[in-house]
């Protein structure tokens, strides 16, 4: 695999930065960060999948670098179903990136499924990884699943309890990769610290309704820009989310 493109940092200090350096802020920090890519006209899917939103190589590199630096990766079942994810880190370069950051264990995957409706047939569940399913009901894991899956039953798959459970396991940095409904649930519960938003240099139009966040928030949330990168005309923006407005 070729060497990753450098990101062009705009803020806080202009300069060339590797994707690994741009994701290193996750290491050792207690943080929950959402990572999403949207077109310039605000869509996060084309024909039901994020593939049509083209954030370019910088987005791809940062997406995987964030995975390589996170303790846990949280993804909604709608996204797992649509994207059919496999193992979180699949190539040697990013495994080496994780090792270089001092992280000795692979990231732990997690999802929320109030009624235990999990897409067990996706490659993730036959990968060697570890996965925690937070459910509101007891769930039987099918025999076809060979991944190391643990089901944790919580009242209504309460997101705050799920995050507390991850933290109690020593998993401090949690990367949430969406989708919009899970983002809404986490934001309305006041659980999110940061938003990594990639704006793809593209107008897609169409009728896909999903945006970065779906669901009612009690108040709008103010954002503070922490860092900004440019890569192939995409903007990669990391914001701090105000918890008390
Ligand atoms: N452009 C991007 O960056 C990006 C990123 C991710 C995903 N996507 C796209 O977004 C789409 C999927 O997004 P989505 O919003 O439909 O689904 P989603 O957010 O992936 O899944 C919804 C999740 O929220 C949980 N949930 C909902 N309400 C809850 C509550 N009150 N308490 C606890 N858990 C709750 C659901 O569990 P239950 O089973 O209990 O409902 C489920 O795990 C796909 O098309 C995907 O391609 C795009």
pLDDT digits (tens, 9 = 90+) for 2-26: 666 899 999 999 999 999 999 999 9
Residue whose Cα lies nearest atom 26 of ligand 1: it is 182
How many domains is the chain partitioned into structurally? 1
pLDDT digits (tens, 9 = 90+) for 48-86: 899 999 999 999 999 999 999 999 999 999 999 999 999
pLDDT digits (tens, 9 = 90+) for 77-90: 999 999 999 999 99
- Provide the 3-class DSSP secondary structure of residue 115: coil
Q: Which of 43, 73, 77 to mutate to test the pocket of ligand 1 (most atoms within 8 A of CB)?
A: 77
Q: Is residue 31 situated within a structural domain?
A: yes
Q: Is residue 6 situated within a structural domain?
A: no
Specify the CATH number for the domain of residue 166. Answer: 3.40.430.10
Tokens of 192: 């999110």
What pTM did the predictor assign? Answer: 0.97
How far apart (Å, rounded) are the C-alpha atoms in residues 230 and 42?
A: 18
For 196, what's the count of Cα atoms within 13 Å in the CB-facing half-sphere? 26
> Domain range holding 215?
17-241
Q: Is residue 101 situated within a structural domain?
A: yes
- Say which DSSP state 95 is in: H
- Please identify which residue in the block is written with the tokens 């806080």: 12
Q: Is residue 58 situated within a structural domain?
A: yes
pLDDT digits (tens, 9 = 90+) for 171-200: 999 999 999 999 999 999 999 999 999 999
Sheet holding 173-176, edge to edge: 15-17, 7-11, 223-231, 234-241, 194-200, 31-39, 173-176, 72-74, 108-113, 130-135, 148-153
How far apart (Å, rounded) are the C-alpha atoms in residues 245 and 237?
A: 21
Q: Is residue 44 situated within a structural domain?
A: yes
Distance 209 CA to ligand 1 centre (A): 13
């Amino acid at each position: 695999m070729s060497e990753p493109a450098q990101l062009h940092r705009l803020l806080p200090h202009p300069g060339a930065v590797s994707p690994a350096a741009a994701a290193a802020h996750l290491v050792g920090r207690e943080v929950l960060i959402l990572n999403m890519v949207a077109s310039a006209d605000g869509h996060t899917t084309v024909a039901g999948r994020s593939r049509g939103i083209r954030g370019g190589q910088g987005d791809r590199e940062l997406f995987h670098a964030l995975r390589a630096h996170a303790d846990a990766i949280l993804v909604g079942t709608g996204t797992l179903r649509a994207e059919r994810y496999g193992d979180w880190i699949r190539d040697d370069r990013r495994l080496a990136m994780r090792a270089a950051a001092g992280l000795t264990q692979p990231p732990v995957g997690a999802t929320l499924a109030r009624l235990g409706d999990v897409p067990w047939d996706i490659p993730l569940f036959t990968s060697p990884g570890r996965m925690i399913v937070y459910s509101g009901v007891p769930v039987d894991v099918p025999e076809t699943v060979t991944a190391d899956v643990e089901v944790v039953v919580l009242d209504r798959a309460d997101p705050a309890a799920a995050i507390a459970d991850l933290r109690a396991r020593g998993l401090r940095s949690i990367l949430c990769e969406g989708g919009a409904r899970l983002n809404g649930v986490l934001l309305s519960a006041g659980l999110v610290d940061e938003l990594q938003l990639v704006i793809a240099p593209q107008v897609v139009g169409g009728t896909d309704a999903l945006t970065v966040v779906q669901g009612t928030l009690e108040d709008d949330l103010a954002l503070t820009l922490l860092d900004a990168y440019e890569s192939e005309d995409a903007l990669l923006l990391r914001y701090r989310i105000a918890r008390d407005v």
